[in-house]
Amino acid sequence: MTQLAEHLEAWAGPSHGRQAVAETIFALARAAAELAELVAEGPLAGELGRVVGASDDGDGQKALDVRANDLFLRHLQKAPVAAVASEEMPAAVALRGAAPIAVAMDPLDGSNNIDIDAPLGTLFSLLPSERHDDPALPFTAAGDRQLAAGCVLYGPHTVLMLTMGVGVQIFTLDRRIREFRLTRADVRMPEARREYAINASNARHWPLPVRAFVEECVAGAEGPRGTDYNMRWLGCVAADAYRVLLRGGIYLYPGDARPGYGRGRLRLVYEANPIAFLMHQAGGTATDGFVPILGIAPHTLHQRVPLIFGSRDKVARVVSLHLDGVPAAGQRPLFGARGLFRS
């Protein structure tokens, strides 16, 4: 099996620009391999799920959040990276002056899963750094400017989902040598799969287009789709992204009527953008309900965005429900929504 370093070397070739991207990805992979070992220790490594600070989502910053952030920063300091933006830091930080790459990351996705031994992840996005007077500037670019992106999933085995704009490759961590090996090349997302992922506990807060789509799925074989659907929700968007890449279907985290969640929960720069890049490169797509995620230019570093991604047919159905003018959330009850039952 090809090791990640060999794959990156072959892709980069003599191009100086590509070499900088490859070096940065390799630094991120080394950090992920080290974090995988720490995650695998669980309680043996201390109270990793202990709340040590506040967070915008109200769940609190966990001890492992901080350790993961420090670990990735340490590895990125050795890479050609001018600036880093992280969910765990209020502002972007400068690293290596005139370096050509900026990295946006969520070093530990799904931290509520720490104490229950459920999936955790890392998400990252590489952007060009063309001016060096303001470390925050690279992170105002829309997602279609990404040079590369990836997700790491720490589960029974650790996988790296990676794109450099030429398809999606999946690497599996060989713990014996702390190296990632290519295990799935040129991943293409299946169509017509019968799975959707959404946090159903928020159903009463969803906007009507999302309610209508879920209604169609819940109706199953007796409904207009004529087939039963399964619902999946892992509480870790990196884990859900991996499942969707391999099995198709759709993931939805919409904006909703709860205070502070009008624009969803997930962050555009370092969560939605890398996932959207991966989905597009695997034949899927991602949207906020109206426009493609990759076309949205961030106004702030920690900007939230509704995120819907997966198979093109299912995402297109959700977009059509938004664009057709289904009333806003709260105006009509769930089973009054205009789904496939009503045309």
Question: Do residues 94 and 85 touch, judged by C-beta distance below 8 A?
Answer: no
Tell me if residue 4 falls in helix, strand or coil.
helix
Question: Residue 159 in 3-state DSSP?
Answer: strand
Can you tell me the distance from the alpha carbon of 52 to that of 50, in angstroms, rounded to the nearest whole number? 6
Note whether 150 and 107 are within 8 A (CB).
no
β-strand partners of 171: 160, 182
Question: Which has the closest alpha carbon to 23: 95, 78, 69?
Answer: 78
pLDDT digits (tens, 9 = 90+) for 154-208: 999 999 999 999 999 999 999 999 999 999 999 999 987 899 999 999 999 999 9
Q: In terms of residues, how long is the chain? A: 343
CA angle 244, 277, 142 (to 5 degrees): 140
Tokens linked to 288? 């906020």
> What pLDDT does residue 338 have?
44
Rg (CA), the chain: 20
pLDDT of residue 58: 65
- Rounded-to-integer distance, Cα 253 and Cα 246, Å: 19
Residue ranges, the chain, pLDDT below 70: 57-58, 226, 325-343
- Token pair 């690293």 is at which residue? 95
